[in-house]
Amino acid sequence: MTLPPAAPPEICAPSHTTPHPLTLSALLLTLLTVALWGGNPVATRYATDALPPITVSGLRFVLATLVMVVWCRWERVSFKLEAGQFWPVFIAGFLLFAQIGTFTLGAAWTSSSHASLYVNTFPFWVVGLDHFVTRGDRLTARKLVGLAVAGGGVFWLLLMTAEGHAGPQQRDLPSVAGDVMLLFSAFLLGVKFVYTKVALRVIGATELIFWHDVVAVALFAVTAALFERPDFTHVPASAWWGLIYQGIFVGGLCFAIQAHILKRHSASQIAVFSFATPLFGMLLGMLLRGDRMTLWLAVAGIAVAAGIYLVNRKS
C-alpha cells in the first residue's frame, strides 16, 4: 500500500530479501508511522490556517525534497536521469502535484477528522484500478465485502454532512465540498499508486521519489505564483510546525522508518496495519483541533478501517 506523504512500501521493498516474521520492534515502528501519517491532515489544517493551500503544498514538498537529497546522498544514488525516464518522472510528478493539491484544498475546507477518513479511502480505488484497468491484483469476495463496508460508511457520512448533521459546533466545520475534494484526492492517489508500479519498470524507487518531488515543487511554485498571494509576515508558529511536521516528520522520518522495516519484512506484512491510519487521524483531530465525535463519524471511521483491513489482509 502507499500512504500519502511517503514512499509506498511496494516502492521501497527490496525484491531479493525473504520476509522475516514481524518482530515487536518492527510492529511498534510500523504503528509509529501509521500514527504520524494519521496526524498529517491535522498538520495540514494548522498550516492552511495562515497560508494558502497551494503554497502550503509547495513548501511541504520543498522540505520533503531536501530530505530526499540527504537520503539519496546517504544511499549513494545518482541524480542522473537516463533516456526514457523523463516522461515517467513527469507524469508521476504531475499526479503528485494534483493529488497533494486537491488534498490540501479539501483539508482546508473540512475538518481534520473528515480529511483523514476520506483521503484514506485510496486503497479501495487501488483495488478497483488493479482489477479493472491493470488486470493485476484481482477482486475477491473478501475485498468486495471490504469495499462494500467502507463505501457504505463513506456514503452515509457524506449524506449526513449534506443534510447539515455535522454535529455540534466545532472549530473546523465539515463541508460537502471539502469531503468531495478529498474523495477525488484519494482517487488520484490510487491512480498515482498504480502508475508508480508502471514507472518502476524504467527507473529506481529512490530516484523516482526524488524527481517526482522536484517536478511537483516546480508545478506548485508556478501555480502559487499565478493564483495565490501568501503573506509570510504574520504566520503563527503553529503553521510553521504544521509544515515541518508534513515535510520532515511525515515526508522524511516515515520514509526512513519504512525503508528500514522493509529491509527485513514484506510490504504485505505492514500494509495491513494501515487500517489504523484514519482512526489515529480522527483521534488527533479531536484532541488537537476540537473535532466532535458523532455517531455517523464513528460508524464511518470504523467502516473505513474495517474495509482497509479486509482489502489488505492476506488469506
> C-alpha cell of 32?
509509529
Whether 107 is covered by a domain: the verdict is yes
Whether 27 is covered by a domain: the verdict is yes
Using pLDDT thresholds of 50, 70 and 90, give the confidence band for residue 72.
confident
Whether 3 is covered by a domain: the verdict is no
Whether 17 is covered by a domain: the verdict is no
* pLDDT, tens digit, 9 for 90 and up, residues 242-266: 999 999 999 888 888 887 887 788 7
Whether 10 is covered by a domain: the verdict is no
Dist CA 310 CA 143 (whole Å):
6
Domain with 168, as residue range(s), is 22-312
Using pLDDT thresholds of 50, 70 and 90, give the confidence band for residue 284.
very high
Whether 69 is covered by a domain: the verdict is yes
Q: What is the mean pLDDT of residues 4-15?
A: 41
Task: Give pTM, 2 decimals.
Answer: 0.91
The answer on pLDDT for 6 being more than 60 is: no
- pLDDT at position 205: 85
* pLDDT, tens digit, 9 for 90 and up, residues 131-152: 888 877 788 999 999 999 999 9
The answer on pLDDT for 171 being more than 90 is: no
Spell out the residues 6+ positions from residue 46 whose beta carbon is closer than 8 angstroms to its own: 238, 239, 241, 242
Is 41:116 a contact under the CB 8 Å cutoff? yes
Q: What is the mean pLDDT of residues 104-116?
A: 96
How many domains does one find in the chain? 1
Using pLDDT thresholds of 50, 70 and 90, give the confidence band for residue 304.
very high
- pLDDT at position 315: 56
* pLDDT, tens digit, 9 for 90 and up, residues 180-212: 999 999 999 999 999 998 999 999 888 999 999
